Amino acid sequence: MGIKKKSQITSEKVVLTSFIVDLLDVVAGLTVTILSGSVVMVSQTLEGVADLLATGLLLLGVKRSKRPSTRKHPFGHGRELYFWTFLAALLTFIITAGASFYLGLKRFLHPEPVTNIGLACLVLLVTIFTNGYATSLSLKRLLRKKSISNLWSAFNRSAFIETKTTLVLDVMGTTASILGLVSLLLYVKTGDLRFDGLGAMAIGVTLAILVLFIIKGAKDLLVGQAALPETEERIIKTTELFPTVEKVLDLRTLHIGTGRLLVNMEVHLINKLTTDEIELLIDNIKNEIKKDVPQATDIQIELETPDI
């Protein structure tokens, strides 16, 4: 009897789960917004709408990035995902953060009573758990075998931009729900109408800070981000293990999509190798690099002599 393998958490599963959660949040938030008149719930609904649009763009980006290579795009369309991610982050920043802060400030300066607070708190409590579940999927894919203590390092260093984006979006949803719930509870406790507006402002500021992480990550990958130093070191060591390789003279890497790395390398070989031996050696080097660094999908090796 075979051992049942654990289902792999793919980028599609992470983004699709976030999309479904956001869709439920929008429906619930819009309903309660109409019933309660709370600007916190307006911010929560706006956050859901922005996340829904953002994850929709991410799904589109993931799909388009997997199109095969063509003569016009010889390395495929993997980097297109970075464009859609940047667009999704920008959309979230404008709709959620900007509108939430504006509406919150307006309500803070001109307070109005909120009705059906119990229902609003219940919906916010539910969205904390739904967004929390979506967040856990993103964390599992991002961390993989690493511990939670490595989260900051994994987030900054990982090239899984769609997973990082959905993680931030889900954290944003969870944070918005928590801030909204706290502000409404304070509203009930103190009777101060301004807490409704204050909660919406807090949501806007917090989300603006979080979404900046997405924008920075997408910008770095759009411009052209190299592999991690330790990954490049592994490529060099694997290459120089071959006895006929004298030295790796130059190595340049570039992320060209999720899980895809372009490797351009200049190597110096020992003298008196035949053409057939060189061709076989290059093929063997490529195969060994792909075994040690699976994301190195496109490898180019050039023969060079060191400058004297």
Beta pairing partners, 257: 260
Higher-pLDDT residue of 294 and 75 is 294
Of 223, 258, 290, which residue constitutes the final position of a domain?
Answer: 223
Pick from 260, 198, 208: which is nearest to 39 by CA?
A: 198
The phi-psi region of residue 2 (left if phi > 0; otherwise alpha if psi is between -120 and 50; otherwise beta) is: beta
d(CA 221, CA 165): 13
Beta pairing partners, 141: none
Same domain for 54 and 150, yes or no, is yes
Local confidence band at 244 (pLDDT 50, 70, 90 cut-offs):
very high
Same domain for 80 and 173, yes or no, is yes
Is 308 inside a domain boundary? no
Question: pTM for the full model?
Answer: 0.65
Count of CB atoms situated within 10 Å of the CB of 51 = 32
Of 202, 223, 244, which residue constitutes the final position of a domain?
Answer: 223
Same domain for 192 and 241, yes or no, is no
Same domain for 39 and 177, yes or no, is yes
Same domain for 122 and 236, yes or no, is no
Beta pairing partners, 261: 255
Q: Is the pLDDT of residue 148 over 60?
A: no
Tens digit of each residue's pLDDT (9 = 90 or more) over 82-137? 888 788 778 777 777 787 888 888 888 888 888 888 888 888 888 888 878 777 77
Phi, psi torsion values for 196, nearest 5 degrees:
-65, -50
Local confidence band at 146 (pLDDT 50, 70, 90 cut-offs):
low
| Helix, strand, or coil (residue 82) | helix
Beta pairing partners, 302: 266
Range(s) of the domain holding residue 275: 229-303
The strand ranges marked E within the chain are: 245-257, 260-269, 298-303
